[in-house]
Amino acid sequence: MNEVSSGNKTNINQSGGQSKIKRRSHRINPSTSHNGPISFYAYMSNSMGNVGGHHTLIFNVIKTNQGQGLSRTAGVFRAPQSGFYVFTWTIRVYPASIHCVELIVNGQPVGALVSHTAASDNETGSTTVVIHVNEGEDVFLRTTMHYNSGGIVSDPYGYSSFAGWKLS
C-alpha cells in the first residue's frame, strides 16, 4: 500500500489498482487553553456579487478575536471552551436581491435570516442566536440552498458582519 499526502487529503493506493481517498482531519485554529473572555467581531472587506447556495461567508476584517477562535481565511469560529454563546450577524443585500443566511453549529443549521430588497433599495437584515456550543465545535455562516440571488453588500456605509461571545 502506498500513501501520498497532499494538503488535507491522503491518497491510499491499494492492490488491484484501486485508489481510495481518506480525508485527514485538520484544525482550522490550533486548540488552546484559554481562560479569559471569548468574543469576536468581524466584517467582510468587500461586497460579493452573485453568491450561490451553501457558500460559506468569510468575514476577513477581524476587529476583535479574544480567545483566537475565529479564522480570517476560513470564516469559521472554533469554540475555545464549552458554554453558552451569543451569535449575531448582519447581512446587507443589493437592490433586487434576496439572500437567506444560516448559522451552522457542528454541521447543523440553528438559525437563519432573509434579506430581500425591492428594485431600488439596499436592505439589511440582522438576527441573534443563543446556543450551547462544545469546545472544538465549528460555527459559521453560509447561504442556504434556496433564496439566493444577487449580491451581498459590505462597505463603509454598512458592513455585512458576524460577531459572537461566550456568556459567563
Which CATH number does the domain housing residue 160 bear? 2.60.120.40
Residue 55, domain extent: 37-166
Residues 157, 4: Cα–Cα separation, whole Å: 49
Domain count, the chain: 1
Q: Is residue 112 part of a domain?
A: yes
Residues 139, 81: Cα–Cα separation, whole Å: 13
Q: Is residue 11 part of a domain?
A: no
Q: Is residue 124 part of a domain?
A: yes
Q: What is the pLDDT along the chain (168 residues), one digit of tens a residue?
A: 444 434 443 333 334 444 333 333 344 454 556 789 999 999 999 999 988 899 999 999 999 999 999 999 999 999 999 999 999 999 999 999 999 999 999 999 999 999 998 888 888 999 999 999 999 999 999 999 988 888 999 999 999 999 999 998
Q: Is residue 50 part of a domain?
A: yes
Instruction: Quote the cell numbers at residue 142.
Output: 453560509
Q: Is residue 93 part of a domain?
A: yes
